[in-house]
Structure 1
Amino acid sequence: MQLTIGDIAEEATIVSPFNKCEDVYAIFNEHASLEGIVVCTDQHAVGLVMKTHFYQKLSTKYGFDLFMKRTVDLVMNKKPLVVEYSLPIAEAGALAMKRNLDHLYDYVIVIKQDRLYGIVSIKNLLIKLAEVQVQVARYSNPLTGLPGNYAIEETLQEILAEENFSVLYVDIDTFKVFNDSYGFKEGDELIRATADIICDIVLTTCNHPSFVGHIGGDDFIAVLPNYNYDRICRSIISRFDQLVRKVYSEDEIKKGYVTAISRKGKLEKFPLVSISIAVITNINMSFVTVKQLSKEAAKVKKRCKTIPKSVFLTMEDCWEEVMPFVTE
């Protein structure tokens, strides 16, 4: 699962809006490394006092005498950046960098269930973003930029501990024939377009942090911390089948097949590319290891391959041999 802003949040130093500026001054003096203080009412963040801004106000003509005996709400930033715990750090970083120059280096305030959770300094945010970017570059697939096998293994290990999860194993059927017929460039474009479809649907449909990875070649994986796979699978299949109509000629679409040299060296008819999705959940089966998960997925994928059109199947479909969802 991707790192969220809440994962790197630190405990915040807080005061009430009714605390005097002299209280804030004393806190900053006592804690020299402290950069800011969150102003709270009943654990709800209502403002932020950064040390640099606070000292600037005190250093103005008569500022010290004007503010020290007055409440902190007169000097606080009433509209600080406040984000939810679950926001990915990349998105939090983008929001932080869009702030006015005067507040560019202010704390990011993190809340969880509408209550103050902590703060993240810009320094720590940038360091963590850099670490994530290095990790992504090291372990991502060079063709699609999606997380590769290292991140996939790590994510699957994590999801096994979740109460509810769905894992979608996605691959393109008869891709080798397409690659041999149209060339590697067109094959790479098809893989990239498929990756875009899966990411767009999974990451925008799921309301909880989800994951999409590229196992390699024409194989992908999506991990959901819930059982909302049905709509996602149908949408992936619909979008992929629309894509297929753009990569073949009208004649090939009409016939529904292409002719190509088989592994036996003979000219044969092959179906147009389609997409298969094997869905593994822990609704009716518990998994202890990733190996168990992969073994069950292999069975479902094998069954998917017997259907010459885009399809998604669950473990239960294979157990019960019910009619799967296929395209018209």
Structure 2
Amino acid sequence: MRRRKLLKSTPAVVVPSLAGCIGWNVKPSGFHGYTVAVDPMAARDLVPCVARDEERLLPSTLIGDFIATVLDGEEIVAEVTNLELFESGSYDGLFHYRDGKTFYRVEKTVLEKGTAAGRKYELSRRGHSADTSEADVVPLSSLPYYDQLLLHNSLSLSDTGGVRVFSETFVAGYLDSGYREESRLASGIDFERIEFDGRYVRIEDRGESSAPQERVRYSAEAVAEGDAAFREYILERYAIEATDLSERAQDFLDSVLENAGSLLISTDDENFESQERALEEIRSLASKRTPLGDLNHPRCNRALYLRYEGEGYTFVSRDRVN
């Protein structure tokens, strides 16, 4: 077993990772080294970094029902590119979600890509619902489900569930011929407003157009019960094994751990080149793993995960610039 000094069980504040795994060696102006932080991987800190929950969903009945359906074990197939589900943060094709004590892995699989032709629409908050008769208003929930998702993805929602003042366009075009035939949007509309959770959005036809489109499938799998089990799942599935690293990279980890889990690497240091190569090796191995952290979470910022002598750690690095 390699000798090193154990860190305290309370992790230090994670240093945000400003340099990604891909293209990390492109040096910014004023570059003069790196800051590296290695901290114990505590479940209480990991969960808010990696797992989303109901509080982070868009304030929308449609999205709430979407997540509930997927968690119940049903697959959802739709044609919408980059479906927005959360108030902040991307999910790069998969995300983890906590419902009570149960953790799920939710994955988006792209079934088909192409260019879809259809009607181009503009959505806006111009005017007021009183300006339009009831006959010209259609509830979002009355549209075919794939129309609902496509239209909803162009809305701009506030954190209170309302629709912000905005003007946005989208193309109601589908790759699937069945969707095109059943859609109430693909070939033109006979209404002026969409009612959405008690709010009204104006929709205007801007003529024929086309846009890139994806046919995707969402599915979910329960992966853990409780925070501790979820931590072990993340370590098992995503952590770098320190034993897979070269002796130089393991020595580099030792030096960080022996320095209370934080190390400044300066271009003025004698051993800078060797340390940089060790850091490159760790980042290169990590780039083969799926990045999990939420880009917008103040404490996480896509930390790497590693298992070292049977213990879990987060590994975060950033460029030092003047």
Same fold (TM over 0.5): no
More relative contact order, 1 or 2 (CA 8 Å, 6+ apart): 2
Tell me the TM-score normalized by structure 1: 0.22
